[in-house]
């Protein structure tokens, strides 16, 4: 939907990355890695977003290891390189509207993500926490219990990470591992269960209640 509205998948992914990391600053190659787009396409879109005032540019001085070695030997130091970073301009008049629009779009994106996760195996318990519910820091963003195809799961999560422009930390347990950790009051598991979360699938609790 947003690709049709903005006319560019790269622009949408860049905007989503900046909006999900409002305090972050990124250089071009970093952005290319995060959203999986070509550097030239990234540069073109950054120029457009900068002209619209949606993002701003900051620079710093980066010294190479060779520069540091020369300086340590007391020789003349080579000129340091200036690196250009891009960050969201939260003072832009468009920022509030952009944020609201992308928040609504992300709900649809997450629904599609959950559908694809379900195709990666048999899921008994699925909870969104951490990043998904604005509960950070948190031990994980996603807790999945079930019998999963590891390769399919990895592909789904990597594709979602490129779409939102950030890493998603996830934890998986088999049903047996989950029950064991729950029974021994595992600290890590309970730190997740007791945190703010959105439970999407829970057949484990349903079975336990039925058995009782």
**144 and 199 fall within a common domain:** yes
What's the pTM? 0.64
**108 and 184 fall within a common domain:** yes
Which letter, b or e, does each residue of 94-122 get, where b requires 16 or more Cβ atoms within 10 Å of its Cβ? Answer: ebeebeebbeebbeebbeebbebbeebbe
Residue of 76 and 110 predicted with greater confidence: 110
**182 and 119 fall within a common domain:** yes
- The secondary structure of residue 78, as a DSSP letter, is P
* Domain count across the chain: 2
| Model confidence pLDDT, tens digit, residues 39-49 | 999 999 999 99
Determine how β-strand 170-173 pairs with β-strand 142-148: parallel
Q: Kindly state whether residue 180 falls inside one of the protein's structural domains.
A: yes
Question: Does residue 99 register a pLDDT over 70?
Answer: yes
| Model confidence pLDDT, tens digit, residues 8-17 | 889 988 998 9
**199 and 108 fall within a common domain:** yes
**65 and 161 fall within a common domain:** no
| Model confidence pLDDT, tens digit, residues 142-157 | 999 999 999 999 999 9
**115 and 159 fall within a common domain:** yes
Q: Residue 22's domain spans which residues?
A: 2-93
**85 and 119 fall within a common domain:** no
**113 and 29 fall within a common domain:** no
**pLDDT band with cut points at 50, 70 and 90 for residue 2:** low
**128 and 199 fall within a common domain:** yes
**138 and 64 fall within a common domain:** no
Given a contact cutoff of 8 angstroms between Cβ atoms, the answer to whether 145 and 173 are in contact is: yes
Could you tell me which of 59, 58, 56 has the C-alpha nearest to residue 46?
56
């Amino acid at each position: 939907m947003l690709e049709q509205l903005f006319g560019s998948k790269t622009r949408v992914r860049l905007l989503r990355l900046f909006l999900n990391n409002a305090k972050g600053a990124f250089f071009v190659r970093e952005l290319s890695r995060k959203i999986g787009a070509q550097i030239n396409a990234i540069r073109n879109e950054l120029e457009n977003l900068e002209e619209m005032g949606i993002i701003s540019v900051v620079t710093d001085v980066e010294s190479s290891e060779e520069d540091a070695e020369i300086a340590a030997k007391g020789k003349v130091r080579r000129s340091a390189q200036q690196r250009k970073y891009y960050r969201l301009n939260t003072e832009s008049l468009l920022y509030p509207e952009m944020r609201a629009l992308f928040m609504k779009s992300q709900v649809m994106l997450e629904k599609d993500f959950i559908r694809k996760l379900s195709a990666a195996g048999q899921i008994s318990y699925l909870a969104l926490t951490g990043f998904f519910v604005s509960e950070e820091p948190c031990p994980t963003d996603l807790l999945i219990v079930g019998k999963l195809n590891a390769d399919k799961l990895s592909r789904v999560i990597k594709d979602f990470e490129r779409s939102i422009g950030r890493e998603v930390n996830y934890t998986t347990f088999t049903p047996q591992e989950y029950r064991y950790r729950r029974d021994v009051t595992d600290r890590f598991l309970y730190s997740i269960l007791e945190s703010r979360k959105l439970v999407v699938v829970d057949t484990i609790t349903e079975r336990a209640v039925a058995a009782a």
